[in-house]
Copies of this chain bind each other. A is one copy, B any other.
C-alpha cells in the first residue's frame, strides 16, 4: 500500500477543464443589474502639482452618472505595510500631486464604456509640472527633486542584515571579488488585467468582485480607504488570470469602482486596458548591487557583503519586503560565516516597484550565482564542487534570520552534476550554466498587522459524505485549489472528487492572507489539514465507541473506510459513520476548523524550498542572439502534493524567468514607458520555450503538510543567473547587467576579442 491515497498522484487542476472550455467565470464576466462602466484619468506627467480639475464638461455628458476626483475620497493613504504609517503613502486618487505617469487623478462612471471613455477626455486638469527623477542613483542625490514631503534624499526604506564579523572574515580570505550588478524591472503581464465590479447596497454594505491575490487584504484596505468597517466589505474573487505579486495590494480599479458605487448605490465595473496595466499598476523592483565575496583557496567562503539600491518608483507598495528579501536571499543557498547586507530603496518618478514572482530573490540569485561562478573560476575550482562545499545544510540556523529544517541542496547539486556529466561535450557556442536557489514557503513577518491566524480553513461534511472545504486561499492560476483539495481528501480519507472547494469570498471563507510568497501549500495546507483532522476526530470519537477498541490503538480513515490503524479489516464505512454522527449531532453537518500561524520560525518563512537549475544555451556570435535550449531543475519542494502541478509551475517559471533574463524589460524615456504593449514588451511565446525537465529530489519538511514546502516561486528564481553562467561557458563573456540583450553580448564579444588581441591570451 502506498503511503498516501491522494497525495503524490498526477492530478489535473480541478478547475482546468472549465478554464480550457471557457466556462470559468472571471471578474470581467460579472454583470449586475444597473451596472455602470468606470474609466480612470491618469497623469501624463511624472511629477506635477494638481492645480485644478474641471469636470464640468464630463459631468454634463449624457450617460455620465458620476465624476470623482481625490476630493471625493476621505484622503487616506494606502499602504500594505499597515504596521508602519510612513509606508502608507499612496492616495490612489491623487489630491494634490502626481508622482508618476499613470497616477490616477479622476474617474467617471457612465452607462457604457464608450461614454465613460469620452467623458475622461473631457476632464481638464491644470498641472504645475515639477522636476522629476527616474534613476534611484540620481534620486538619492542632495539636489534631486523631493518626491514625498519629509522623505530625505528620497530614501523610502533601508534594511540591514548582519551576522559574524564581516570585516574580520574578509581579512581571512585568500581571494576577494567585488562586482557590481544590475537587475532590471519586469511587468507581471497577467492575461487578465486588473478589473473590479463593486456594488454598494442601500444596506450600507459593499460587495466587490475583484481579480485579487488576497481577498482579505483587499477587504481590509478597501474598508480603511473608504471609511467602512471591514465586516461591511465583502470581497469575492472569481477565477483569476494571473497575479504574480501584482494583484496583492489595493488597486485603482478596486478603490475607484467602490468609491463611485458608494456615491451612486449602483454597481460599477472598471477594467484596465493593457496599456494601463503596464503603466499604472506595479512592476518588479530593479536593483543595483555592489557585492564582495571572499573565500579561502580551498573554496571555503568566509565573508560576503551586499549593498543594494532599489528603484522604488513613486510609492512604497510591497517594496519594503522586496528590499529585505533581496538581502535575505543574497545569502541563499550557501553558508556564510559572516554576512552583511545594506539595502536602500529610493523613490523615483516611475511606476511603483513591488512584488513579482520571486520577490527580490531572482535578482539576488542572479548576483550570487554570477559571483559563485566567477569566484570558482578565480580559484580554479569546479563550480559545482565550489557550491557543494558551501551549500546550506538541513537543521541549521541562520542567526536571527531562519531555521532551516529540510534542505535538499546537496542532493540537488548531485543530480545536476550527474545530468551535466551525462550530457558530455557540447557543440561550439553552446554552454551550460547552473544556479542554486532557495525560496520561502510563506512569510512570517506580520507587516500587514493582521489579528487573524495567517491561514484558516473549515471543513463541512454533509450527510452523503461529501465534503465542503472553505479556505481563504487564493488560486490565481497556480493550482492551490487542487493542492488544498488533495490535502483535505488525504487527511479525511475520502476521494478527491468528494471535496468541493470554496475559496475567494471573505463572507464565507475564513480570513486568510492570500497568495503570495508561495504560502498556500504550506500555510493553507496546514490549516486545511488541521480542519480535516478536526472533522475526522469527531467521526473517529464516535467510531471508537462503536468499534469498542482497546485504548492503545488508534483509528484512521482511508478510502472511505474508518478502521483500526493496525487492524485495517476492523472498521466501519465512512458513509455510514457520517450519517450516524450527523444524527447524533441533532442533524447538524459535521464541521471541522483549522488554523495555522508560524511560531518561533525566524523572520521570513517557516520552511524553504531549495534547488539547482542547469540551463543550456546556444549563442550566435554573429548576432549576439541567445537561444535557451533547455532548463533542467532539481527542485526540493519537500513532499510533492501534485507532481503534475509542480511540473506546470516549472514550465511557467522557465517561461517567465527565461524571458526576464533575455527579452522582457521596460523601455522608458523621461518616466514614460515606451513598450507598454504585448508586442513590444516581448514575453516568451510558445516558440521561445526550451525543453523543460524536472529531477526528483525527495525530502520531508516537518513544518509542512505531509512534508510539503513550495514549488511556485522558487522555481522562478534561478534562470537569469544560470543564463549568464551558461553564456559565459558558451562564448566566454560575462554579462552583469540585465536584460541580457544581443547588443550587450555583441559588445562584450567585441571587447573580449580586443582584449585577447591585446594580451594574446584566450579565455
Contacts and interface: CB of A to CB of B under 8 A. Distances in A.
A587 B452 contact: yes
Contacts of A205: 500
A231 B589 contact: no
A291 interface: no
A451 interface: yes
A583 B467 CA distance: 28
B23 A265 contact: yes
A502 B507 contact: yes
A461 to B, nearest CB: 9
Interface stretch (A26-34, A334-342, A652-660): A26-34
Nearest to A203: B14
A22 interface: yes
A17 B203 contact: yes
Nearest to A23: B34
Interface string A201-221: 111110000000000000000
Interface in A227-282: 229-232, 234, 265-267
Nearest to A591: B593
A498 interface: yes
A168 interface: no
Contacts of A199: 23
B231 A465 contact: yes
A16 B202 CA distance: 8
Given A463-B452, A587-B597, A508 B502 contact: yes
Contact of A267 (B23, B230, B508): B23
Nearest to A481: B203
Contact of A500 (B23, B232, B463): B232
A52 interface: no
Contacts of A579: 451
A231 B468 contact: yes
Copies in the complex: 2
A466 interface: yes
A456 interface: yes
Interface string A490-508: 0000000110101001011
A589 B463 contact: no
Interface in A667-694: none
A449 to B, nearest CB: 11
A448 to B, nearest CB: 12
Contacts of A402: none
Instruction: Bin the interface of chain A by size.
Output: 35 or more
Given A230-B462, A587-B595, A588-B452, A497 B29 contact: no
B451 A582 contact: yes
A679 to B, nearest CB: 27
Contacts of A398: none
Given A510-B588, A586-B597, A588-B595, A463 B230 contact: yes
A511 interface: yes
A129 interface: no
Given A29-B33, A201-B17, A588 B453 contact: yes
Contact of A586 (B21, B203, B502, B595): B595
A464 B229 contact: yes
Contacts of A298: none
Interface in A480-530: 497-498, 500, 502, 505, 507-508, 510-511
A647 interface: no
Given A17-B203, A18-B203, A451 B23 contact: no
Contacts of A452: 463, 582, 587-589
A24 interface: yes
A71 interface: no
Interface string A546-586: 00000000000000000000000000000000010011001
A14 to B, nearest CB: 5
A25 interface: yes
B511 A462 contact: yes
Contact of A231 (B450, B464, B597): B464
A502 B205 CA distance: 13
Contacts of A138: none
Nearest to A17: B202
B508 A467 contact: no
A507 B267 contact: no
Contacts of A583: 451
Contacts of A510: 588-589
B231 A467 contact: yes
A21 B202 contact: yes
B265 A21 contact: yes
> Which of A452, A467, A510 has the most CB atoms of chain B within a 10 A radius of its CB?
A452
Contacts of A204: 497
Contacts of A465: 229, 231
25 contacts: A14-B203, A17-B201, A18-B202, A18-B203, A21-B34, A21-B265, A21-B266, A23-B201, A29-B31, A229-B464, A229-B465, A230-B462, A230-B463, A230-B464, A231-B462, A231-B464, A234-B500, A450-B587, A451-B463, A451-B583, A452-B587, A456-B588, A505-B508, A510-B588, A587-B597
Given A230-B462, A231-B468, 13 more contacts: A14-B203, A15-B201, A21-B34, A23-B202, A23-B267, A24-B33, A25-B32, A230-B466, A453-B586, A453-B588, A468-B507, A470-B508, A588-B593
What are the 8 A-B residue pairs with the smallest beta carbon separation, nearest first?
A231-B466, A17-B202, A453-B587, A508-B508, A452-B587, A230-B464, A231-B462, A451-B463
